[in-house]
């Protein structure tokens, strides 16, 4: 649930000035390590990799 909310918030233009960590805390994570571990377990990539691949998909389509 929190990972999906994170992905939603990252894609929200209103949050463009927030860091990944700030958004992770905003959606309920209490530490960077816990967030990164949970994200990688669910998405099979780090948050940075996720956004990189998402930006490539956006530019292709």
Question: Whole-prediction pTM value?
Answer: 0.81
Residues near 9 by beta carbon (within 8 Å), at least 6 away in sequence: 15, 18, 23, 26, 27
pLDDT at 57 over 60: yes
The pLDDT, as a whole number, for residue 15 is 92
The pLDDT, as a whole number, for residue 58 is 72
Q: Mind listing the pLDDT tens digit for each residue in 6-54?
A: 999 998 999 989 999 999 999 999 999 999 999 999 999 999 999 898 8
pLDDT at 61 over 60: no
The pLDDT, as a whole number, for residue 31 is 96
Alpha-helical runs (H) found in 1-61: 2-10, 20-26, 32-43, 47-60
User: Quick count: other Cβ atoms within 10 Å of Cβ 6?
Assistant: 24
Domain boundaries, the chain: 2-60
């Amino acid at each position: 649930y929190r990972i999906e909310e994170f992905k939603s918030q990252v894609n929200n233009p209103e949050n463009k000035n927030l860091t990944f960590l700030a958004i992770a805390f905003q959606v309920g994570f209490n530490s960077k390590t816990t967030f990164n571990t949970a994200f990688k377990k669910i998405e099979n990539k780090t948050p940075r990799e996720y956004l990189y691949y998402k930006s490539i998909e956006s530019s292709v389509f």
